[in-house]
Amino acid sequence: MPDPIRLEIYKHLFAAIAEEMGVVLRKASYSPNIKERRDYSCAVFDARGRMIAQAAHIPVHLGSMPLSVAAAVQAFSELGPGDMVILNDPFRGGTHLPDITLVAPVFINQPGMSGENLAAPLLVGYVANRAHHADVGGMVPGSMPIAREIYQEGLIIPPVRLVRGGELDQGLLSLILANVRTPEERSGDLWAQVAANRRGVERLAELVEHNGREETQLYMEELLAYAERMTRLLIGELPDGVYTYTDYLDDDGVGDSPVPICVRVTISGDLAVVDFSGSAPQQKGSINAVYAITLSAVYYVFRCLLGLDVPNNAGCLAPVQVIAPIGSVVNAVAPAPVAGGNVETSQRIVDVLLGALAQATGLPAASQGTMNNVIIGGFDSRYGRPFAYYETIGGGCGARPDADGPSAIHSHMTNTLNTPAEALEYAYPLRVQRYTVREGSGGAGRQRGGNGICRDIQVLEEAQATLLSERRRLPPYGLAGGAPGSTGENVLIRDGLEIRLPGKGSFELMPGDILSIRTPGGGGYGPAEPEDQS
């Protein structure tokens, strides 16, 4: 019979490994996107590839990473000590091309681990990390274009061994670096990912060797079972029934038509079926989400409904069945472009799930529903090399039944920080001209939605900008009579004149131009109380 106190200790031990991996990755990385914004995630898996623990990193990464581990294991059935598999192929365990994942098996009785090597190495688990690289090639700097096929989005890396027996494959690394605009930065970030996995391998092996393989595996199983029991308890507390909701993406960046995402959530006892049938077919533009993204969004929503004490692991999804029709915008097939599915469609999937479940329990109104992706690239004459700046920008959160929505933060499927003005201006030929709360952008209601952000960036060199944003046409919804939040705006300021830009597209910028991103506010909750006329 497992000891509940030791169960809690193991929960924190596994999570601490993932957190320490993240610290190593951040401190060793080169790019501001990873070092400053912390656009990365780390997790620990058992020997069957089930996620046991994750750090408090990026939700869109963590829920989808198990499919990367599965793809790595499927591609290499006999991984050995010191091996690491690299991949970013969205149709083989990845999400979108800038997110590069490294997977490493963990063995005990490895040379240098226990001081002896009397037995064959025994697989006890995996560690993995995923980091967003600011450029992986493709048709525009930043590798998130409004493309029509995935080949335009950058270098596709199927599951391949980057490290074999502890030795880096220099030929493979050279091939990767030859296909990106910023090879020095990419090399530094990849080495940081290798270092993070090495730390995870070391820590998990130490844990198993110290406490014994049988006990460690027992508590892995118990943590999975505990998370499943708590999720079943949560679902069982919801009223049985069928809850539907439909929301829309503004467009796919190629056409002008809204793109519907539909969900039908069936609650029956302690089971939930989440069915996205009726959603739009996959689109010409790059807003398509692969199945890993849809699964990740579902995982995130149900995990949000659980208490903080429940471990973050694969058990949370055991009582939830996800149906996503093949060839739809929520389960696209190759060669569909997918750069925006990871960042934008994932947000809308969350919106429709929360909209449906709000009919069963008290949930917030819609948050901004976009990551407001901004990519600026060109040639930096200060250092004599290309540059690629990538950032997501926060906005307003939806009002809750009992509180206003927070303002000016990242929400839902993103959990990054901003790039500080000082770091941005040091690394790139850019200047931050304004960075303020967008007052009045939150939706009215008994509880007001949070306000968005205004972030104005001036370019000092000729550059190409790409915007991948949502909620520029269709606002974040309010709930229970609350007003929707304000839509966002993208504006080019040139010679003092303001030029309205679409939500998605690429644009040439001249020195002195200012790109102004004004992000959406969150929806309000409940009808606004009438003003006192006395």
Q: What is the pLDDT of residue 532?
A: 40
Looking at residue 63, what is its pLDDT?
73
The pair of three-digit structure tokens given for residue 88, joined into one six-digit string: 């970013």
pLDDT band at 199 (very low <50, low <70, confident <90, very high): very high
Give the whole-angstrom CA distance, residue 38 versus residue 194: 16
pLDDT at 113: 44
Residue 111 has pLDDT above 70, yes or no: no
* 148-180 residue pLDDT tens: 999 999 999 999 999 999 999 999 999 999 999
Buried b / exposed e over 333-364, threshold 16 CB at 10 Å, is eeebbbbbbbbbbbbbbbbbbbbbbbbbeebb
Q: Is 111 helix (H, G, I), strand (E, B) or coil?
A: coil
CB 244 within 8 A of CB 265: yes
pLDDT at 118: 54
Residue 526 backbone class (left: φ over 0; alpha: ψ -120 to 50; beta: rest): left
pLDDT of residue 415: 81
- Provide the pairing of β-strand 320-323 with 271-275: parallel
What mean pLDDT is predicted for residues 330-339?
97
Q: What is the pLDDT of residue 112?
A: 45
CA dihedral 104, 110, 113, 118 (to 10 degrees): 170
Q: What is the pLDDT of residues 46-105, one digit of tens each?
A: 999 999 998 876 777 667 889 999 999 999 988 999 999 999 999 998 999 999 999 999
pLDDT band at residue 526 under the 50/70/90 scheme:
very high
Strands 452-459 and 514-518: antiparallel
Arithmetic mean of pLDDT, 440-462: 98
Residue 512 contacts residue 154 (beta carbons within 8 Å) = no
Nearest alpha-carbon partner for 18 in 152, 129, 143? 129
Q: pLDDT tens-digit profile of 385-430?
A: 999 999 999 999 999 999 999 999 999 998 888 999 999 999 999 9
pLDDT given at position 312: 87
| pLDDT computed for residue 534 by the predictor | 35
Percent of the chain with pLDDT over 70: 96
